[in-house]
Amino acid sequence: MEVSVIIPVYNAAPFVEKAVRSALMQEEVKEVLVIDDGSTDGSWEILQKLMLDDDRVRLFQHPGGVNKGPGATRNVGLKSVRFEYVSFLDADDYYLADRFSETKATFLSHPDAGGVYEAVYLSKPVDDCPQLITFQKNIPPGECLERFLIGDLGYFSIVGLTVKTSVLRNLGITFRTDLRLAEDLDFIMEFCSRSSFYPGSLKDPVVIIQKHENNTTAVAYSIHSKYRHILFRDWVKKIMDHQWSGKLNWFLVKSYLTHIPVVYKLPVSSTLKKFIKAFCLILLLLRFPRLITKVLAP
């Protein structure tokens, strides 16, 4: 198994060396593509030293050293990968030992697999999130999108994924560049809807996610909602062209309504919030009359 690891970097000087070295210690990793996204904290200098230490490290920057966000930054890596599999890591996280042992076994057991998802561990719990992020049981590939979104059996993370390079390129799946947040969610949704995902290690984590005050999860909820509104708006439009379950379709519609900008600024129990959501739902049904049959479908 030969793996390319993509690491986007933005002002991660305290963490990035550990992230890169954790990838390099995996025998399956043949290259680490590190893309600097306009860092101003000395991250680039650290990366240059790492490149001199190990020729598997390949460095990239956006033209002019500008900041373009995580989607555009990961895409630079996707265009340049040279090996059969692609895995992802954030600059403030790190792989555990034998990160790809279960991954390799899963791909061998399922030749049709486009990707493998595995458990990750939060170094510090956030709000009411469990420390171990994983699915509670094996999910058939055809149910992956629904279970992932609804979350009744758990979740998985972009840094716990390994995918086939050929599948990504054949399907033309990349990260959205208009989403500064939730671009990883869109990527996973797109992959789940168009390829086959199988579980690798679900009980033992393969990655440690380090939580700190500069994480994207620490960004204001209103900013997260702004991008999730765009995300779910576009996925609601896709309902017309897919044979998804009514449960999944309704989840997408509810998520879109919940993240309408004027809605998320109102108090949780606000009557006005309920009225606006109902009004927007009516407008949505007027625009897409077939949506009601899609939502009511079993």
> Tens digits of per-residue pLDDT, 159-169?
999 999 999 99
What predicted TM-score, i.e. pTM, was given to this entire model?
Answer: 0.91
Residue 4 has pLDDT above 80, yes or no: yes
Return d(Cα 116, Cα 133) in angstroms, integer.
15
Q: Mind listing the pLDDT tens digit for each residue in 95-115?
A: 999 999 999 999 999 999 999
CA neighbor of 87 nearest in space, from 9, 157, 16: 157
pLDDT at 179: 92
Residue 298, pLDDT above cutoff 70: no
Per-residue model confidence (pLDDT) at position 164: 97
Q: Write the secondary structure of 65-83 as one string of H (helix), E (strand) and C (coil).
A: HCCCCHHHHHHHHHHHCCC
pLDDT digit string, tens, across residues 122-149: 887 555 566 889 998 888 888 999 999 9
Distances (CA, A) of 107 to 115, 173, 196, 199: 8, 20, 11, 10
SS3 content of the chain, % helix, strand, coil (to 5): 45, 15, 40
Domain 3-218 adopts which CATH fold? Spore Coat Polysaccharide Biosynthesis Protein SpsA; Chain A (3.90.550)
